[in-house]
């Protein structure tokens, strides 16, 4: 579903992503782990179009996406969340959801005037979908609240919900568990599994090993910009290369 071939991203002399080749198979929940500074977030930023790769190929479902803008990649079906979610705090949860859909008829000035009926019908469909997704994520009671009042965990659910508005094929989750209380984390994990059963492919960065071990297969390990190994969670847990990658990180 997502194919990386020798992807490089440098910052000056630092090769933060140093020739990463990786295949994320369709409908998997693939984990991406590694010590701090391994290059995981830089790799996400490069896949999702925040950075232009300095080398290599990135394909989404066979189509080259390396170098496209983040919004173009998003609308081709690859969504990503951030370590720290950034909803528009003064807008309501529902309004935040309605920022995601694209190709809205009303975006064109003349359409807004001349095709008012079609614009209204599309707005209604988007609103219905937003309500459905908000309910699915367990945020129904907060639909009309400003997003700024949500807890960190609820904001992560909202971020994922926003991505679902565009029917993504692949979702990159950057540390979904960080700062999320155990009850919400359980709820987030259930949603990820349910969405994965519907066919959505996930690649997720996570330091919470319990989450990685219970959710992800395979697990890919990065260190110093490179893929150290990948395999089933049980194999990764005991692999000496992985232990070395983490211990090498200790002072």
Ligand X SMILES: Nc1ncnc2c1ncn2[C@@H]1O[C@H](COP(=O)(O)OP(=O)(O)OP(=O)(O)O)[C@@H](O)[C@H]1O
By CB under 6 A, residue 40 contacts ligand X: yes
36 binds ligand X (CB under 6 A): yes
CB of 40 to ligand X, least distance (A): 4
Mark the segment that binds ligand X (CB under 6 A) among 39-47, 57-65, 74-82, 108-116. 39-47
Which of left, alpha, beta for 130 (phi over 0: left; psi -120 to 50: alpha)?
Answer: alpha
Does 37 participate in binding ligand X (rule CB under 6 A)? Answer: yes
Which lies closer to ligand X via its Cβ, residue 19 or residue 106?
Answer: 19
Task: Kindly state the tokens that stand for 107.
Answer: 């975006």
The kind and range of the H/E element at 63 are: strand 63-64
Binder of ligand X out of 30, 42, 187, 230 (CB under 6 A) = 42
Query: 163 vs 221, which CB is nearer to ligand X?
Result: 221
Residue 236 region, left (φ>0) first, then alpha (ψ -120 to 50), else beta? alpha
Neighbours of 26 (CB within 10 A): 13
What gap in Å lies between CA 96 and CA 162, rounded to an integer?
A: 7
Q: How far is the CB of 80 from ligand X (least distance, A)?
A: 13
Q: How many whole angstroms separate alpha carbon 111 and alpha carbon 137?
A: 33
Q: Binding to ligand X by residue 176, rule CB under 6 A?
A: no
Q: Which of 199, 204, 167 is nearest to 189 (CA)?
A: 204
| Of 30-38, 60-68, 128-136, 236-244: span binding ligand X (CB under 6 A) | 30-38
**Is position 15 an interface residue for ligand X (rule: CB under 6 A)?**
no
- Interface residue with ligand X among 2, 4, 16, 245 (CB under 6 A) is 16
CB 4 within 8 A of CB 192: no
Q: Write out the residues near ligand X by the rule CB under 6 A.
A: 11, 14, 16, 34, 36-42
């Amino acid at each position: 579903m997502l194919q990386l071939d020798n992807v490089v991203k440098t910052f000056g002399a630092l090769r933060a992503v140093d020739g990463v080749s990786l295949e994320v198979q369709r409908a998997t929940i693939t984990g991406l782990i590694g010590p701090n500074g391994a290059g995981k977030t830089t790799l996400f930023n490069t896949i999702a179009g925040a950075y232009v790769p300095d080398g290599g190929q990135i394909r989404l479902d066979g189509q080259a996406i390396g170098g496209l803008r983040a919004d173009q990649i998003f609308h081709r079906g690859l969504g990503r969340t951030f370590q720290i979610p950034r909803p528009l705090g003064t807008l309501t949860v529902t309004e935040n959801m309605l920022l995601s859909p694209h190709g809205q008829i009303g975006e064109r000035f003349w359409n807004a005037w001349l095709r008012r009926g079609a614009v209204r019908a599309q707005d209604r469909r988007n609103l219905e979908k937003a309500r459905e997704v908000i309910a699915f994520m367990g945020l129904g009671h907060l639909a009309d609240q400003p997003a700024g009042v949500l807890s960190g965990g609820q904001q992560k659910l909202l971020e994922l919900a926003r991505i679902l508005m565009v029917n993504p094929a692949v979702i990159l989750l950057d540390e979904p568990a960080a700062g999320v209380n155990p009850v919400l984390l359980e709820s987030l994990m259930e949603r990820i599994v349910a969405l994965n059963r519907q066919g959505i492919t996930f690649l997720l960065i996570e330091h919470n090993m319990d989450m990685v071990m219970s959710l992800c297969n395979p697990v890919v390990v990065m260190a110093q910009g490179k893929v150290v190994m990948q395999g089933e969670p049980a194999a990764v847990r005991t692999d000496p290369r992985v232990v070395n990658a983490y211990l090498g990180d200790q002072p």
